[in-house]
Amino acid sequence: MKLKNKVCYVAGGTGKVGKGIVNEFLNEGACVIVSSRFKEKLENLERIFNSEKLFLICENVGSEEGAEKIKNYILEKFNKIDVVVASIGSWWSGKKIIDLDLKTYEEVMFQRLTTHFICAKTFLKYMVEVNRGVYTLIGGFHAQIPLKEAGIISIAGAGEIMLTKVLYEELKNYNIRINEVLLPPVGQKINENDIGKFLAYLCSDEAYMINGQIINLYGD
């Protein structure tokens, strides 16, 4: 029970990878909070797990107002937040960078990078106040491999890596662990439950020594 009595917020917990994380966090004894803009996704998650330790809130972590509401909901209910996992962002492909219109560029960058900024800013401010916590960003192989006709995903992913590094440098004097996990393409080498098991370990007290790392799960 690596996460027994821990209060864990999983941003993006209704996605395929997110569900694997939620599953393993519940297995390890955590109280798990998941948010989504879409009520039907939350209802589906509730049907899948049917756990008294799963708590759902219909809010958008991609807006400053929504992120604050999620944080306040958790603190009002549990009086603490121990762990945040930001498994945010969906896939996009279809055009070369030189053919990409500005609207699509801004939308993808907002979803893939700006939302990470909003989530990190909101929850890490709380962790600084209490001087403790574990914050983990979920990225992908695309952050280190330039992709043809999906280059904006690679650009946003590279920005997420730098966001992680900057957050670590700025907050390394606090009792806060900040790491990023880079995942392989969906269905390759490692499945979502294996990812969930690794995240449960990484976010537990057992992994106290792992901080400021970009952890590559997709190999060379």
Series of mean pLDDT values for 10-residue runs along the chain (220 residues): 96 94 97 96 95 97 97 98 94 92 96 97 98 97 92 96 98 98 79 92 98 88
Strand order of the β-sheet with 214-216 is 54-58, 31-36, 7-11, 83-86, 133-140, 176-183, 214-216
> What pLDDT is attached to residue 58?
97
Look up the pTM and report it.
Answer: 0.95
> What pLDDT is attached to residue 89?
85
Residue type, 150: A
Q: CA–CA separation, 79 vs 54, rounded Å? A: 16
> What pLDDT is attached to residue 10?
98
> What pLDDT is attached to residue 178?
98
